[in-house]
Structure 1
């Protein structure tokens, strides 16, 4: 009988919402397999160094909101072969260790995990350093949450990597990570995305017109992006449709769209931060929004065509490029004709059907379960190399 994981720590960081959502999805999958397991999800910097969280993550979020072009430049300069992918990455990891390692290792010594899973690269870098210095022995797994491989994720000390898609396995070779350490299990999403739902029934539940084309507009968990202008453009179009708008945790954005909705031709339903994205995606014919990794993975699981409007520079651009190349998405720049692209697709259903099929080929609705199963198998291997505290 295979040994079960009894004690697992999942390290993440609140940079947006996707990394923590992936962590919670893996936790749910482990507990589904073994309800008696002790699985702890830790918001790493919030626990180890509030100062570091404020400086690093605060700067990141402000940069994304105010100067995304600068963030995109830095992101690209830290990709493979670029100047910031070597020394700068190592120096950044050294700073992370200086402010966070001691308290994190103390925490792990108390929890005594058999495996530690990281859904964000920053804590992964800390553990890799501790492994290199022979201060940490349990299994280390890195779970990537975008359709790309960035240098800040990659450390030779990590035992295994879980990538978003098979096409990404080869990218690890550039960093001298052997393919046998990389598993394309997908981006972990909530387990309920693996359950098939009836579109007609969900539309009735949500109070939608059963035959009217339905467009889902999302700006991510934080409600970022050009959501309001997107809603205005689609809501005043000459082609009839109905809009589902998710404003996330941005309450001001929600109020703005609710006021705007009264002046629009097409009906609009506005939501804040929701826990039924699976239903909203099931009810929709296409989605307009940003290209966060978790959102993309959820849309693929539902076979939902994506119209990615003005993606943020950095990982969103890479996600958009990947999905467009696969035929599952259309990328529209800020000066592009969003309304025309969307309405043309609605008029020609064959185009949306083709995009939906392409999305389903990328779908990994059971990614969290596969991750839990794989890490359990790795722990159970009698190699003797990986030990718990």
Structure 2
């Protein structure tokens, strides 16, 4: 009998949660007797909650200080946030359970851990609940609900944070960060290392929402190095238009893209990627073996991600665009010795089987206290 797994994800708060979900779902081949149903958790709260989710892009693009305030409030008041979301999603969530009758629930968004566990607990519904953390270092207490059967952690730092929040060590499993398979196409030591006297291929991106000082970065590169530059402005249409206008003088040395589903091709063909500290983008760069220059991070959950990457020699942190010239020169010195060292460290660091390992874990998880979902109604 096929095991039914309900994944609670998000379509509008960046692209990371959706990418993680896709990475797991694409591993669900014939050798897994699993039926996966994915739902956007924000859609369960109707237009009110969906509207809140859709605010993520505009706020993170235009008002980082407001985002930091929102993040801090939610981290300081997890029970209040859980109750608020529970009230919005309860009716639709119970209807969804009655339709899907899942054998296990996997949440990949912090807003739907405590809120859903509240509903299950209050209704005496015994369905195994597993959390998959989508952040790397700065873990909100919303991720670390001790009632979850298991919490899957992408990093040792995230696991340690969960333990600090009081989650039992045996309930936190370190597996890695799931990345979609197409980003690993060149991972088997086939990506060509940088060679001196060839144009440096640079990629400038900032996650799905397109934030950051992309214009200045591009100008510094094009004025000081033999390079070609590709820029991904994401969903930020106005930014794309401004970049096209301001960088037109560089002609065919620069290409500008909007939101693209083929970001892996741009990464795979690049020597260096300039990016912010988005967990998903960082791990996609690592998977494609593209050294990173990290130019910033959202306050709150991304705050320490740049230093996490630098500590493991996966990339370099750039606090000020004025440092770019010096950083690039150092990476290219001695025929790109430092750049090539980062490539080798990335290959050793990443678990290319993380998505498969996560699916195997949840597909084979058994909770003997659990009564089959099909045996009762959730209403």
| TM-score in terms of structure 1 length | 0.85
Cα deviation for residue 382 of structure 1 reads 6.3
Q: Distance in 2 between matches of 1:5 and 1:160?
A: 21
Partner of 1:20 in structure 2?
A: 18
Q: Distance in 1 between matches of 2:74 and 2:88?
A: 22
CA contact (8 A) 1:309 1:332 kept: yes
Specify which of 67, 72, 95 is matched with residue 71 of structure 1.
67
Q: Secondary structure of the equivalent of 1:116?
A: strand
Q: Specify every segment of 5 or more residues in structure 2 that has no aligned partner in the other structure, as ranges.
A: 375-379
Report which stretch shifted further, 248-257 or 312-321: 248-257
Partner of 2:169 in structure 1?
A: 179
Q: Distance in 1 between matches of 2:359 and 2:115?
A: 22
Partner of 1:229 in structure 2?
A: 216
Q: Distance in 2 between matches of 1:131 and 1:222?
A: 34
Q: Distance in 1 between matches of 2:276 and 2:322?
A: 15
Partner of 1:117 in structure 2?
A: 106
Q: Secondary structure of the equivalent of 1:356?
A: helix
Q: Say yes or no: does 1:331 pair with 2:317.
A: yes
Q: Say yes or no: does 1:153 pair with 2:143.
A: yes
Report which stretch shifted further, 135-144 or 251-260: 251-260
Partner of 1:218 in structure 2?
A: 205
Q: Distance in 2 between matches of 1:382 and 1:103?
A: 25
CA contact (8 A) 2:296 2:306 kept: no
CA contact (8 A) 1:301 1:363 kept: yes
Taking a change above 3 Å as real, the CA distance of residues 301 and 387 of structure 1, as seen in their structure-2 partners, is farther
CA contact (8 A) 1:146 1:187 kept: no
Cα deviation for residue 193 of structure 1 reads 2.5
CA contact (8 A) 1:243 1:269 kept: yes
Q: Secondary structure of the equivalent of 2:294?
A: strand
Cα deviation for residue 336 of structure 1 reads 4.3
Which consecutive aligned stretches of 4+ in structure 1 deviate over 4 angstroms post-superposition? 76-79, 197-200
Q: Say yes or no: does 1:98 pair with 2:94.
A: no
Partner of 2:181 in structure 1?
A: 191
Cα deviation for residue 49 of structure 1 reads 1.8
Report which stretch shifted further, 291-300 or 36-45: 36-45
Q: Say yes or no: does 1:308 pair with 2:282.
A: no
CA contact (8 A) 1:160 1:183 kept: yes
Cα deviation for residue 303 of structure 1 reads 2.6
Q: Secondary structure of the equivalent of 1:128?
A: helix
Partner of 1:207 in structure 2?
A: none
Specify which of 275, 287, 292 is matched with residue 261 of structure 2.
275
- For each residue in 1:306-325, what CA deviation from the matched residue of structure 2 results, as whole angstroms up to 9, or x when unmatched? 11113221222222121122
How many residue pairs get aligned? The number is: 368
Taking a change above 3 Å as real, the CA distance of residues 297 and 7 of structure 1, as seen in their structure-2 partners, is same
Report which stretch shifted further, 25-34 or 299-308: 25-34
Q: How large is the RMSD of aligned CA atoms in angstroms?
A: 2.7
Partner of 1:383 in structure 2?
A: 368
CA contact (8 A) 1:143 1:187 kept: no
Cα deviation for residue 92 of structure 1 reads 1.0
Q: Secondary structure of the equivalent of 2:230?
A: strand
Q: Specify every segment of 5 or more residues in structure 1 that has no aligned partner in the other structure, as ranges.
A: 204-209
Q: Secondary structure of the equivalent of 2:280?
A: helix
Q: Secondary structure of the equivalent of 2:176?
A: coil
Partner of 1:130 in structure 2?
A: 119
CA contact (8 A) 2:237 2:258 kept: yes
CA contact (8 A) 1:5 1:114 kept: no
Q: Distance in 2 between matches of 1:77 and 1:98?
A: 18
